[in-house]
Amino acid sequence: MSYQSGRTPKGPEPPRRSSTSGGVDPATIKKHYEDLADSYDEFLYWSPDFVGKMADKIVDMLDLQPDDTLVDIGGGTGMYSLALLERVELTNPVTVVDPFPEMLARIPEDAPIVPVAAEAVEFSAGAPGCSKVLMKEAIHHVGNKSELIGNLYDRLDPGGRVLLVHVDPHQVQYPLFDAALDNARNSFADPDELIRILDSAGFEPRRDELAYHHEVPTGHYHRMVERRYMSILTSLPEEQLTAGLDEMRARDQGTDTLRFTETFSYVLGTKTR
């Protein structure tokens, strides 16, 4: 299935960003996604095999069914909502929530997706009911995770599920440089903490993981780093990024392909009552 690119998000203007942001400060996150929006899919799609394997596991853990109402919070350009729609013919459109209209604008206009420009916690406080919620690589941007998860518990139907997919900070292995790796370890959400938050909110938590072995042309990966493809790179001072890239170029000289493993934790909460 293919969709026409480009759409204008509906919904309220992005709210002021208050206390709700993870390790990296809100102004940096805003700048990061506004600057990256046009290149996001080029850099973060990696490969059809990667997105396919990630999406298959999401379908499986969410137990996604055609009559589900799915909300994709921090859904960005809709990359994973589109992959899920290819796998399960949902009767209802997917709601993709993201604070940055620049990201939502990349969602194909004719896709069965309703884009909503809103920050996660503020959306969750007034969200309509739904049966399944996905947050892929977005929970680390949310400061008050307990408030978000508590609100989602209230909004979910009985039997509903929330799935938090995230790079495991304990298993970070990018071919980067020390300052960037330290930033990643300190910024990504700890799966054990997410389990505790889900448990306290009343969910039955379960955890799994997916380790994917990337093979990326060296020059392409260096360009991704130069363009600060992750927010943990945007938060580094210019000199540190330049020095890190010099280090990478020296280390990777004569290497055509970079091979590394990205390990995602899949943390599921089921509302059993």
Ligand X SMILES: C[S@@+](CC[C@H](N)C(=O)[O-])C[C@H]1O[C@@H](n2cnc3c(N)ncnc32)[C@H](O)[C@@H]1O
Which residue ranges make up the site for ligand X (CB under 6 A)? Answer: 20, 29, 33, 44, 73-76, 79-80, 98-100, 103, 119-120, 136-138, 141-142
CB of 249 to ligand X, least distance (A): 25
| Tokens matching residue 45 | 């799609």
Which is closer to ligand X, CB of 33 or CB of 203?
Answer: 33
CB of 122 to ligand X, least distance (A): 8
CB of 40 to ligand X, least distance (A): 7
Where does residue 114 rank: exposed (0-12), middle (13-18), buried (19+ CB within 10 A)? middle
CB of 29 to ligand X, least distance (A): 5
Which is closer to ligand X, CB of 58 or CB of 198?
Answer: 58
From CA 39, how far away is CA 190, in angstroms rounded?
28
From CA 57, how far away is CA 55, in angstroms rounded?
5
CB of 34 to ligand X, least distance (A): 9
Residues whose CB falls within 8 Å of the CB of residue 154, separated by 6 or more in sequence, listed in order = none
From CA 114, how far away is CA 130, in angstroms rounded?
14
Which is closer to ligand X, CB of 20 or CB of 272?
Answer: 20
Residue nearest to ligand X (CB): 76
Which is closer to ligand X, CB of 29 or CB of 248?
Answer: 29
Which is closer to ligand X, CB of 148 or CB of 195?
Answer: 148
Helix (H, G, I), strand (E, B) or coil at 36: helix
| Total Cβ atoms within 10 A of residue 212 | 15
Measuring CA to CA, which residue among 183, 179, 181 is closest to residue 241? 179
